[in-house]
Each structure stands twice: as C-alpha cells, then as structure tokens.
Chains A and B, each alone.
Chain A
Amino acid sequence: MKILVAVKRVIDYNVQVRVKEDNTGVVTDNVKMSTNPPDDNAIEEAVKIKEAGKATEVIAVSIGEEKAQETVRKALAVGADRGILVKAEGIIEPLAVSKLLQKIVEKEKPDLVFMGKQAIDDDCNQTGQMLSALLNWPQATFASKIEIKDKKLEVTREIDEGLETIEINIPAIVTCDLRLNEPRYASLPNIMKAKKKPIEQLNASDLGVDTSPRIEQIKVEEPPKRKAGIKVSSVAELVQKLKNEAKVI
C-alpha cells in the first residue's frame, strides 16, 4: 500500500503574524517557516503505518514556491521515502491545490492520501474534502484515530458534538487532527539520510491545471485592537467588576 501525504509550508505557529503596511498581506520576509502542524500529524501517521508493515511507501508532496522543498525534506527526515515538489508562485487556492493533487494521485496511484485538517495560514479547511470530491473517493476529515482493516479504514473523527466513527473503503482521503498522534522529531542521522532521498520537481503549469485565483484579496488588516484593560487589586474587586460592570456572571 502506498500513502501520499500532502504537506504545506506555513509561517511557524510561534511567530507573531504581522500585517504588511500596504495591507496586501502578511509579512513573510525573514520569518520562520515550518510545516503546517496537522500536516506533521499526517506524515507521522503514514510513517507509523509503514513501520507497522501495512504500507510499502510514503510519498510527501508539497505545492508552493521553491523553498517548500524544505518542508518536503523535513517529511523525508521523519520517515517519508521520497518527495514531490510542485512549484507554483503566488496564492494557490485550495481548489487549485486539490486539482494539482488530483494530477499527482492519477500519476502515483496511492491507496491513501493524508493531509492536515486545515492550514494555519489561510484557515480554509477545504483541500482534503475537495480532492476527495474530485476523485470521488470517500473522505474522513478531522481524524483522531485510524485503524487499517484489510481494504477498509476505520476512522474516529472529531466532531463538534463529540466523536464519530466511520468506515471507508480504500482508496480514501484522510485529513488529520492534532489528537491523532505525537509527531516525532527528526534525528540528526535521519536529517543527513533525508538529504539523499529523491525529490521530484514539477511545475504546476506542466500539470495542465489553471491555478489563477478566483478570489480577490482586497485587503488584509490588523484585527481591531482591544482597549487596554485594568488591573484589579483583589479577587473581591474582580468578582464585583464582573458582576456589576461587565455583567458577565
């Protein structure tokens, strides 16, 4: 069984995101970039499945600028066997990403495609579901547990009301939640080894997909600032303020 894992390069979750002065976007120059956190869970799960002898190959794919190669390389350092980088400039919307992934799936013929449930930059939460619709494959979103049962997967999903369990036939798409597993760190020897693993480079335009944006980003602004609060001197004062001033208790 072959598992394709999609990984996205995003601003590191610990970085304070700043809006550009001209309101065209957020500052990305000289900002630490990392793998989108739930994509780390997706890679980890695929590698664990391989280690359990249930998969033969894990392929990491990323779509984006040249530097997204680092994100693919990181996936290789934690256990993916080989990588694919689809080079594309500018904003690539989830619809275009899912069309590009569809082309990769048609070429690589994986049995499973994993990715994070959402990217922490655009917060769209669309790509997995869109890919699943384009391929007409079953989808298991927000997965917190995956069990492989012959030609099926039993997946526990995190939903607003609690947990839901579904069974889906392979081939299938799974989008991963943070609770799925604990992503490992890459060891130094594995980082060295990853340098020798192959990364195939493709151009989005070669795949015959129109990636031009359908959505115009008119402006990006700072969210409204909170007005400065006050310090209270005692618990009694705090409770009194909450009761009589803020009227929230």
Chain B
Amino acid sequence: MSVLLIAEHNNKELRPFTLNAVTAASQIDGDVHAVIIGQNCDEAAKSLSELPLIKKVIHVDAPHYQNFVAENFAPVIVKLAENYSHVVCSANTFGKNLMPRIAAALDTSQISDIIKVISPDTFLRPIYAGNAFATVKSNDTKKCVTIRPTSFDPCESSGGSAVIEKAEPGEEFGHTKFIKREEIKSDRPELGTARVVISGGRGMQNGDNFKLITSIADKLNAAIGASRAAVDAGYISNDHQVGQTGKVVVPDLYIAVGISGAIQHLAGMKESKVIVAINKDGEAPIFSVADYGLEADLFEALPQFLEELNKLNTIQK
C-alpha cells in the first residue's frame, strides 16, 4: 500500500518543509500520494503535483479549510487513510496539532518526530530532547508518522506532473473558530529554522547587553537564542529559549555566548552542525560540545567578532 503525505501550505504556496516530508515519505514507500486541504489553494496543489516524487495529488477545497483547523482537517484525512498504509507529515506545529487527531480516530499509536526511516515499520526518533535515540517498530496496521524536517533533505521541486484529483470536503466542526494569526514579521529568521543561531546566557549580565548579540545576528542573518538562565533572569523573553523545555534547534552554526552549558540547554542545541562557545570560564561544560571554543571575556570578544566579520568580503546568508 502507498503513503499519504499531508502537504503544509498557506493556500498560495507550499511551506518549505513539505519538501522534506516528501523525502521522508518516499523512503517509507516509493508510491507517495499527497493530500492538500485548503481554500482556493489551486496554485499550491499545482506546485505539489510538480514534485517528481509525488505520484498523485488529492485536492480538497472548501472555505472552512482556510485556516488549517485540525478539527476540520482530521476527518477528511481519516477517510482517505482507508487506502493507505501510512499517513505522514512534518512534526512542526501544523503536524503536531493535526496528526494525533488522525491517529486516535484510526486507533493507531502515532510515531512522532522521526529522524530516520529504517524500514517501512521501523524508525529512529530522539527522546529526552535528543539525549537518547530510540529505534521503534510500529505494530499497527496503519501507521501515523511525523517527521523532523531538518533531518531529511528537501526533495526536487520541479519536473513532475502528477494527476490532481479533487476530493469531496467534509463537514465543518462547529466548535472551533479561527480568530487571527499574527505572523512574526521579523527581518530575522525564525529560531527553529535559522541557518545560524547566536545565543546569550547569564554571562550577558543584563538585557541591554544583548545588543552585542543583536549586532552580530544582523551581520550573520542569525536568529537570537538564550539559555533558560538568561530568560529566568529576565534578560530576554522566553520565546528565545533554547533547551529541553524551550526550542530544539539544529542550525549549521550555533554560537553560545556566556552560556555555561547546563544539561537542559545542551539538549536543545547539541545536534547543531558547528558549535562555537565563547566563555571566560575555561572549565564550562559548553566547551565539551563546542567545535571551536574561545576562552575570553565576551564583552571584549563580541565587539572584536563584529569587527572581524566586517572585514570579510562576503558572508553567507
């Protein structure tokens, strides 16, 4: 049987992580069909049909799908799932919100946030915020799987021409009403998906000193993170918190400034490709995970860092 992938989109275009989810789905089974549910989302459905790995697109369109309410989406997917062995989507807030509703309706024990497909029923997933990796095998007939997008490469986005089939919309769930969405309109990339993250800890001493971090973040087009200690001390709001109880980040470059490296912080960033630690305490645990450690006073090092960056002819964005 084939895999049903749930596409994430904004009614105009596909959200980028859909491409990573398609890659994961194709590793489970080559026969990947994708369902796209929305309002007037023909354009996004067309983009989906152009992904060479997709064999068929099922397009469900109705006004009550405009805002991606899980209570409206789930019954449609549960019905379609009859014809599939797996239902797959990204483990971001869209998929996390939606997939368990589908799994419960199918009486399936969901497998969340996989980082590797070992076989069609066996997957690798991090537990304890990445402090351990579990190999798990699903014994359910139908499998509901969410994938960690950053663990799979995006698939090819053009060249395909899958058929687009329209499917009947389901009824509207009357008890949930969408009011508004405030997308953070920041020039800065989002913490969870940024290529570069620079984080400050208690060593920053106060909120004002985060300016030193901000100016480097501007230069590197980086997101700004913080340790729990910095958040608890009130230096920065907790939407910046990286760690077991905050966000787990996997950037290409993670720069930890004035962060000692408490276990719970390490859990949120130690899968980053390259880690830099700047700390005046040479014994700080953060150095044990850092690829490049600089034992220095951050108040001297950060201005110098900015100066050195300014000397570079080009900086990757």
List, in ascending order, chain B residues with CB within 8 A of A231's CB.
282, 287, 292-295
Question: How many residues in B have their beta carbons less than 8 Å from beta carbons of A?
Answer: 94
For B77-113 the 0/1 string (1 means CB < 8 A from A) is: 0000000000000011110111111111101111111
Q: Which of A71-79, A107-115, A187-195, A234-242 contacts B (4 or more CB under 8 A)?
A: A234-242
CA distance A236 to B312 in the complex (A): 11
For B208-229 the 0/1 string (1 means CB < 8 A from A) is: 0000000000001000000000
8 Å CB interface, B57-95 against A? 69-71, 74, 91-94
CA distance A142 to B99 in the complex (A): 15
Partner of B131, one of A14, A17, A217: A17
B127, A122: Cβ atoms under 8 Å? yes
A235, B296: Cβ atoms under 8 Å? yes
For A146-174 the 0/1 string (1 means CB < 8 A from B) is: 00000000100111111111111100100
Residue B264 interfacial (CB < 8 Å):
yes
For B261-274 the 0/1 string (1 means CB < 8 A from A) is: 01110000011011
Residue A179 interfacial (CB < 8 Å):
yes
Partner of A168, one of B94, B96, B176, B246: B176
B134, A242: Cβ atoms under 8 Å? no
Residue A202 interfacial (CB < 8 Å):
no
Residue B1 interfacial (CB < 8 Å):
no
List, in ascending order, chain B residues with CB within 8 A of A130's CB.
100-101, 103-104, 110
- 6 residue pairs, one from A and one from B, having the closest CB atoms: A129-B100, A214-B109, A130-B104, A133-B104, A126-B100, A229-B291
5 contacts between A and B (CB under 8 A): A13-B245, A139-B97, A165-B180, A168-B177, A236-B304
Instruction: Name B residues whose Cβ lies closer than 8 Å to a Cβ of A.
Output: 69-71, 74, 91-94, 96-105, 107-113, 122, 125-140, 173-184, 190, 192-193, 196, 220, 238-239, 241, 244-246, 252-253, 262-264, 270-271, 273-276, 282, 287, 289-296, 301, 304-305, 308-309, 312, 315-316
